[in-house]
């Protein structure tokens, strides 16, 4: 085989070839995926790919055109392990060192691993909490996003300070339970008197379903928000729906980030789908919806 000239290699690169293998060796590393639109980083919440293996989820990020991922502990276990609860328990049963090759897989794929999702719930031991921080440190992230109980905040804070990792508490729409994050008041209670290592991971879909005004909240508290989850839901505890069909102010939120140059990642979380739907195609549609909102 004749050696490839620099000019020929350049043509292939311009044509979009990545990970080119010549003579059994990878000539170029995969290109970094760029999904920053008008200064707003659009990424994906790993829960969107909960039906896939880790390797497939990483490839799904690339296929959907998304260059940043907020990984969940569920993504670390094979779907064959069982439901999300079984997969979380499986992860916690393993040594932290078993996951040392996760970050390199993202790096090789050109996808930035930005945050790690790990729940801090009542009944957890200090060892359980510490495991989550050890794993986040191994993954090389500065942020943990967490579906947690409000009452867990004082227990989690010292670990954040120890590891210098910020925890963004994630809300749902269970407004009937005062120990679940849902409304502005629940976030305020958790963060009152806390260190800089406790923050907010605002899910604008759940926040809307719980009766909140996401645009107003972000405007007033943007300096304490580490990530946004982008989904569309109806008000009054309504269902998840495709982007543009619900009451969540997705367009206004994205333009708020763009116009104020607030560096808060906006991570798409795909939840409205049914088993027969194409996950990657739906995530790609959601991304295009976000792109149009930011480019118009």
Instruction: Report pLDDT for 275.
Output: 82
* Inside any domain, residue 271: yes
Rg of the chain in Å (alpha carbons): 20
* Inside any domain, residue 21: no
* Inside any domain, residue 219: yes
Instruction: Report pLDDT for 147.
Output: 98
Low-confidence ranges of the chain (pLDDT < 50): 1-29
Give the CATH number of the domain where residue 125 resides: 3.20.20.150
* Inside any domain, residue 27: no
* Inside any domain, residue 223: yes
User: What is the per-residue pLDDT across 187-200, written as a single tens digit (0 to 9) for each?
Assistant: 999 999 999 999 99
* Inside any domain, residue 29: no
Instruction: Report pLDDT for 30.
Output: 67
- Write down the number of H helices and E strands in the chain: 11, 13
DSSP assignment string, 224-259: GEEEEEE-EE-TTTPPEESTTSSS--HHHHHHHHHH
User: What is the per-residue pLDDT across 160-185, written as a single tens digit (0 to 9) for each?
Assistant: 999 999 999 999 999 999 999 999 99
182 vs 171: CA distance, rounded Å: 5
Neighbours of 61 (CB within 10 A): 28
* Inside any domain, residue 19: no
Instruction: Report pLDDT for 276.
Output: 85
Domain of 65, in residue numbers: 38-295
Domain count, the chain: 1
* Inside any domain, residue 22: no
């Amino acid at each position: 085989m004749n050696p490839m000239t620099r000019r020929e290699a350049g043509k292939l690169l311009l044509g979009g070839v990545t990970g080119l293998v010549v003579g059994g060796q990878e000539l170029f590393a995969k290109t970094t995926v760029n999904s920053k639109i008008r200064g707003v980083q659009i990424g994906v919440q790993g829960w969107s790919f909960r039906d896939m293996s880790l390797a497939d989820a990483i490839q799904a990020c690339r296929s959907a055109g998304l260059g940043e991922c907020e990984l969940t502990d569920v993504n670390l276990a094979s779907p064959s392990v069982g439901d999300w609860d079984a997969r979380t328990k499986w992860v916690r049963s393993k040594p932290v060192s078993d996951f040392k090759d996760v970050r390199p897989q993202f790096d090789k794929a050109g996808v930035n691993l930005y945050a790690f999702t790990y729940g801090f719930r009542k009944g957890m031991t200090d060892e359980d909490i510490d495991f989550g921080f050890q794993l986040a440190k191994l993954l090389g992230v500065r942020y943990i996003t967490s579906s947690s109980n409000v009452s867990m905040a004082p227990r989690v804070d010292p670990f954040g300070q120890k590891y210098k990792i910020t925890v963004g508490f994630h809300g749902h729409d269970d407004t009937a339970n005062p120990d679940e994050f849902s409304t502005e008041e629940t976030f305020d209670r958790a963060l009152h008197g806390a260190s800089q290592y406790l923050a907010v991971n605002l899910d604008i879909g759940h926040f809307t379903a719980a009766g909140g005004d996401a645009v107003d909240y972000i405007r007033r508290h943007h300096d304490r928000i580490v990530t946004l989850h982008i989904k569309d839901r109806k008000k009054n505890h309504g269902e998840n729906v495709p982007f543009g069909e619900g009451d969540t102010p997705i367009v206004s939120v994205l333009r708020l980030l763009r116009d104020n140059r607030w560096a808060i990642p906006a991570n798409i979380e795909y939840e409205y789908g049914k088993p027969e739907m194409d996950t990657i195609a739906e995530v790609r549609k959601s991304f295009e919806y976000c792109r149009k909102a930011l480019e118009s």
